Amino acid sequence: MLMPLVKSQKIHRILIIKLSAIGDILHALPVSSALGEAFPKVELYWAVEEPFKTLLEGNPYLKGVLTFPKLNSKLFRSAKARRDYLHRLRELKSYNFDLVLDLQGLTKSALISRATKAKIRLGYHWQRELAKYVNEAVPRSPESVHIVEQYLDVARFIGATPSKVTFPFSISEEDDSTVFSLLQSEGIAPNSPFVSINPASALAIKQWGAEHYAELINALHIEGIPSALVTADKAVAQAVAERVTVPFANLVGQTTLKQLGAVLRRSAVHVCGDTGSGHLATAMECPVISLVGPTDPDRACPYGQRANVITHREACSASCTWHHCAYPQPHCMQAITVSEVTEKILSLLHQNIKPN
């Protein structure tokens, strides 16, 4: 165990590597708070891909955020982009990191880890591609089923044992004020409980479908509950909006990631599929109803909200995976009914509780 190294101040500077994507970075945020609380004198840095830097802005536990371009074929086709990427790698040595924690476990993170020249390079238990040759994998605790706990196993390994899992995600007063005004302009009164809904997911097989979401908004209106549509996917949102027959707040494309966080913080309940907004809502301590298909909800559902997952994995084929469906339309998603989602929302509104 490396705790004596940190306690004896031989570890002065740590680099956390979690480059992408939104949900995965949010899952890793508790590592920064765990380390920051346990070792307040240690300087923490985070390496992230440029599009996701905003997720880390304002994190009080971080001394700095280092950005990198996405490592793909487009990068290698540009001589200028290659030179810039290599320059950023070479700069890492000047930070004199004593310890690297690779929470990505892929080639793109292994290149960064190796370039730091840190003497100690650890990774969470699932190190793949080149990462397994660059980092020492920290064994997963048998009790750590959820990915958040698996990342925290790395923090625990070096002596940080948080009494409470926290997600440091900062929202400025300006962003919160912007959202307050936006909600009012869309017909949601101040302090009025409303349900935010994200109908999009990165993969089509993870989507419940525009008709279902439209029916849900209609059903909530009958119950006197306002709905707010939130997603960056304008095509999916339009398909839902075209089918809704009642008033609703349309926030599609009107918020930044930070402002989306402010919307979710004000939401009474958030409804979504297997997508990043569910994890952001958890960080905002908003109850999340996740509509999950072939994804393993025990490992990847919004943290601490397994009881709010609606899933019918029994409708899946044995050959279904999180990225491949055996059917033209995913049976597991189609098996979820509007009535059971509505009932779950009403139950959470009645309880009026926040997740742990």
Rounded to two decimals, the pTM is 0.90
Q: Average pLDDT per run of 10 along the chain, which is 356 residues long?
A: 60 96 95 96 97 96 96 78 92 97 97 96 96 96 96 95 94 96 94 94 82 97 96 94 96 95 97 94 96 87 95 72 62 89 95 56
Is the separation of the CB atoms in 290 and 297 below 8 Å? yes
- The whole-angstrom separation of Cα 26 and Cα 170 is 12
Alpha-helical segments (H) within 116-186: 131-134, 147-157, 173-185
pLDDT at 354: 46
Q: How far is CA 299 from CA 48, 55, 137, 259, in A?
A: 23, 22, 19, 27
**Domains in the chain, start-ordered, CATH in brackets?**
3-157 (3.40.50.2000), 173-351 (3.40.50.2000)
pLDDT at 310: 96
- What are the residues facing 121 on neighbouring strands? 100
CB atoms within 10 A of CB 8: 8
pLDDT at 296: 85
pLDDT at 356: 43
Is the separation of the CB atoms in 303 and 284 below 8 Å? no
Q: Which residues of 168-184 are buried (b: 16+ CB within 10 A; e: fewer)?
A: bbebeeebbebbeebbe
CB atoms within 10 A of CB 148: 23
Cis geometry, peptide bond prior to residue 202 (ω within 30 degrees of 0): no
pLDDT at 317: 64
